[in-house]
Amino acid sequence: MNISNRLRRWLPLTGLMVLGATVSQADINLVIKPNSSSQAPQSEFTTVLEVQPFGGSVVGAFDATIVYDATMLEILDITAPEGSPWSGNMELDRSSFRSGSTRVVGFTTTNVTAGSQPENWLNIRWKTSSQLDAVSQITVTFRALIDATWKPLGYFPWASFTIIQAPGPQIQKLNAGTSTTLGVVPSADAGFNFQWQKDGVDISGATSTTLTLSNLRSQDAGTYAIFISSAWGSMKSTIAALAEAPAIVNSPTGKAVRRGGTLTLTVATSGSGALAYVWKKDGVVLVEGDRFSGTNTASLAIANAQFSDAGSYEVIVTGLVDPVVTSTPAALAVVEARQARVNFGYTAGQPITIENSLTYAGTPTGLGWQTILPEGWSYVSGAGKEGEVKPALGTTNLLEWSWASIPASPCKFTVTLGVPAGTTGDKEFRAKAVFGLETGSNDILVMPDPLVVSLAPDTHSTDSDRDWKISLIELTRSIELYNTRNGGSRTGAYKFDPAGEDSFTQDGTRVKGTPTTLTCYHSADSNKDATIDLFELTRIIELYNYRSGSQRTGQYHVQRSPPTEDGFAPGP
């Protein structure tokens, strides 16, 4: 079959049709009987060659040849019924030769009985080659050389059968408003019937060798096939597929994500068939696995986002037909926003300082910060990289900052707050950073959420018996926290444990340098990193070593002003 529009091959061969022919030459017929009307590549089928002599009861010695293309077909075996004149002469290589790709197999009979009867049949079993899908059809020819007293030597009756390839569907781009014609040319003018189908459904009135589609629209996309039938059998061949080209309906949108968070970038597309997707970051193809998933789908998910993930993301989309399309790049920024108390806790009627930090990877178009205060607390002052827009003195409830000139990362600033007299209990601070991109603003939750500030304790964490003295036993407990190890590395990591003797215990699972947030920190942990380092341990030793005269007493007291690193000072 021939396609009126020559397009590149897309799908494999779908079927074969075997057509037979009977040729009569006066006193002898060669008849080919197909017993299978449709086959698939590399499948087996059988043809029957029957000799029908006329005008006498016996035909003399009969030489026959089969001529075929050995690159397209293979003869598996040739057999005949017991007692047949063909018997004993079935060796394929007994009389054969090649000329290029053509192979000629010859064999000889004894006397052939007149009439149409099974003993005159010759069964030939074939196998099609994988190369058959490269041609439209092949023909196998049978010839007979008669050596008989009743006919001159060299009379050549012949017969043949043809294998018509059912071509795979051809992919054609659907161009809206245009027309296209699909068609087939049968290999024989026997009585063929035709019926065109779209997506397996008959098209009304489409019963000729061609199908013309006019003023194409998107609903015309689909797979077109023709069902061909004749007295010899039938075949359904998928001729072509009209496909809409892929298109980007909505490109992925740029986003800012909290460090350690998860996000998804999605592209909306149109087009026929299953579209193929390839995601890239900064021009490099992303590989599925680790923290990236969906790298070959319409949605790319990134888990546990890190600063290294910031960059430009795009997706390349390929369809059944050209063109290949690429989305508009989407900018991804990764942001870490944190808040921490500078003082160990608050004292009613006394100011307290909160430290804020904003670290990011990406290119912001704007930055902002908002903090919700406990009831009655107010803004006193700020320091560090406060924005050009900041709260006014005495502002309560909601504090807001913004930067006209974008500060470099990291951006750190402190806020001093007024605490109302008589305040008691734990107080919560909730905050968010506002990270602007060209596609809009993104809210980043500030961690910890919430930040809990407790009333400053009246004793040091090391002072487990609360007698305002640091004893040797209490000191060794702090040294134990300092000596926490992970593997062979000293980390000094600890965690809050209300059941512990000092409300803390060692954290041997944490790797050195890993940031963490606790609900309550040790008094000695002046930088609130959930570890006791050597500097902080020596501060405890300083309190332990306080002497009254020549006697070491380990006495200490609370000191809020001027502030100390832990809110305490040596002495009674």
d(CA 544, CA 472): 8
User: Is residue 512 located within the same domain as residue 445?
Assistant: no
Stated as kind and residue range, the H or E segment containing 268 is: strand 268-270
User: Is residue 490 located within the same domain as residue 420?
Assistant: no
Q: End of a domain among 131, 151, 166? A: 166
d(CA 539, CA 505): 19
DSSP letter, residue 263: E
Residue 163 contacts residue 13 (beta carbons within 8 Å): no
User: Is residue 160 located within the same domain as residue 24?
Assistant: yes
Q: End of a domain among 148, 166, 184? A: 166
d(CA 192, CA 500): 93
User: Is residue 372 located within the same domain as residue 251?
Assistant: no
**Hey, what are 571's tokens?**
């002495």
User: Is residue 409 located within the same domain as residue 552?
Assistant: no
User: Is residue 23 located within the same domain as residue 135?
Assistant: yes
Residue 54 contacts residue 114 (beta carbons within 8 Å): yes
Cis peptide leading into residue 457 (ω within 30°): no
Banded model confidence at residue 447, pLDDT cuts 50, 70, 90: very high
User: Is residue 399 located within the same domain as residue 259?
Assistant: no
Nearest to 52 by CA among 122, 134, 112: 112
Q: Quote the pLDDT of residue 543.
A: 95
Q: Which domain holds residue 92?
A: 15-166
* Residue 463 within a domain: no
* Residue 32 within a domain: yes
250 C-beta neighbours (distance < 10 Å), count? 11
CATH (domain of 448): 2.60.40.740
pLDDT tens for each residue of 367-393: 999 999 999 999 999 999 999 999 999
Which residues have a Cβ under 8 Å from the Cβ of 89 and sit 6 or more positions away? 107, 108, 109
* Residue 268 within a domain: yes
CATH (domain of 293): 2.60.40.10
User: What average pLDDT does the segment 60-67 reach?
Assistant: 62
Q: Quote the pLDDT of residue 510.
A: 92
Residue 370 contacts residue 398 (beta carbons within 8 Å): yes
User: Is residue 59 located within the same domain as residue 157?
Assistant: yes
Write down the pTM of the prediction.
Answer: 0.58
* Residue 440 within a domain: yes
d(CA 226, CA 4): 13
Residue owning tokens 């827009």: 389
CATH (domain of 85): 2.60.40.680
Residue, of 240 and 161, whose pLDDT is higher: 240
d(CA 529, CA 166): 73
Residue 213 contacts residue 220 (beta carbons within 8 Å): yes
d(CA 542, CA 554): 8
Residue 502 contacts residue 494 (beta carbons within 8 Å): no
User: Is residue 19 located within the same domain as residue 121?
Assistant: yes
Q: Quote the pLDDT of residue 77.
A: 74
Longest CA–CA span in the chain (Å) reads 148
Q: Across 18-27, 119-128, 129-138, 189-198, which has the greatest mean pLDDT?
A: 189-198
* Residue 210 within a domain: no
At 374, the amino acid letter reads P
* Residue 559 within a domain: yes
- What's the total number of domains in the chain? 4
User: Is residue 153 located within the same domain as residue 69?
Assistant: yes
Q: End of a domain among 328, 354, 385? A: 328
* Residue 219 within a domain: no
Residue 519, classified by CB atoms within 10 Å of its CB into exposed (0-12), middle (13-18) or buried (19+), is exposed
DSSP string, 19-43: E--EEEETTEEEEEEES-SEE-TT-
User: Is residue 402 located within the same domain as residue 358?
Assistant: yes
* Residue 270 within a domain: yes
pLDDT tens for each residue of 34-47: 433 334 344 566 66
User: Is residue 373 located within the same domain as residue 425?
Assistant: yes
Banded model confidence at residue 4, pLDDT cuts 50, 70, 90: very low
